[in-house]
Amino acid sequence: MKIGTVFPHQEIGDDPALLRDWAQTAEGLGYSHILAYDHVLGAVHEGRQPKLLGPYTERDPFHEPFVLFGYFAACTTRIELTTGVLVLPQRQTALVAKQAAQLDLLSGGRLRLGVGTGWNYVEYDSLNEDFRNRGRRQEEQVALLRKLWADDVLDYRGDFHRIDRAGISPLPKRRIPIWFGGFSPVAFKRAARLGDGFIFGSGQRQNLAAVAEVRTALRQAGRVPDAFGIEALLNYQSGPERWREQVQAWVDAGADYVAMRAMALPGQGDGLESPQAHIDALQEYWRVVGDLAD
């Protein structure tokens, strides 16, 4: 079991020294990876039709994951860098391929690319992408990313992409893993067909139940569940008396990763009071569960 931590984008602030200290503390303690969320834009929810149902608004800060991880790659030497998840269909596929390849090269092969479809149609519209076909486009994007990372030049025509005898350079030195995230049976089935793993971001009970759904979908897709990665996000706010129990449940479930999430969840009260409190939370959590890590 590898134990990582979620980058607390809402509460950590933007002081480069504090961000560095947080990342270096995580690496120094033994955390396996840093997982970061993704939103390019936040949108006002009031007066929307259809309603925006996701948790974040224009008031929630997000650091751009590729830029953030480029900074963390220079500040650290070992810790893995995971997008959890990048809203892939609202981004240009060839550009994502280039950014991911560069990050993986310059970090020494430390990127794990988690992708999802998102929920914020305003963000899609603002980035000049179509929210309605995001699922189908994501499937083509995953296939195209792998081709762009493998071939010097490709001639590709799909339903949503055309690449006319072109390619990125330099190529990554390995097959960058692509994991999926989401909350629906559609996302589980898509991941089972196309992904290297799945990141579960709901509550503990819902996540454990969803693992069974994903493993069923893997068998239906003719894949071996043991070769597919599993990660779950665990909440710091659950309290020290439950931390070990929660991690152990995922050890027992055969998961590969968990990640501690210390920032407050939307609608569930205030989070930690300062960036230093998030550094202290890394230390406190590790003291309780660190011996369960591989």
Average of per-residue pLDDT values in the chain: 96
The type of residue at 243 is: W
CB burial of 127-155 (b: ≥16 within 10 Å; e: otherwise) equals: eebebeebeebbbbbbebbeebbeeeeee
User: What pLDDT does residue 264 have?
Assistant: 86
CB contact at 8 A, 275 and 13:
yes
User: What pLDDT does residue 270 have?
Assistant: 72
Count CA atoms within 13 Å of residue 16 on its CB side.
8
CB contact at 8 A, 142 and 161:
no
Query: How many whole angstroms separate alpha carbon 57 and alpha carbon 292?
Result: 36
User: What pLDDT does residue 280 have?
Assistant: 97
pTM score of the predicted model:
0.97
Which residues are CB-neighbours of 229 under 8 A, at least 6 positions away? Answer: 177, 179, 196, 197, 198, 256, 257
Write out pLDDT tens, residues 44-67: 999 999 999 999 999 999 999 999
Q: Which of 20-29, 47-56, 260-269 has the lowest mean pLDDT?
A: 260-269
In three state form, how does the secondary structure of 126-184 look? HCCCCCCCHHHHHHHHHHHHHHHHHCCCEEEECCCCEEEEECCCCCCCCCCCEEEECCC
CB contact at 8 A, 148 and 128:
no
Q: What percent of the chain has pLDDT over 70?
A: 99
Decide if pLDDT at 269 tops 70.
Answer: no
User: What pLDDT does residue 293 have?
Assistant: 96
Write out pLDDT tens, residues 228-252: 999 999 999 999 999 999 999 999 9
Give the pLDDT mean for 115-128.
Answer: 98
User: What pLDDT does residue 267 have?
Assistant: 64
Query: Confidence class of residue 273 from pLDDT cuts 50, 70 and 90?
Result: confident
Q: Domains along the chain?
A: 2-292 (3.20.20.30)
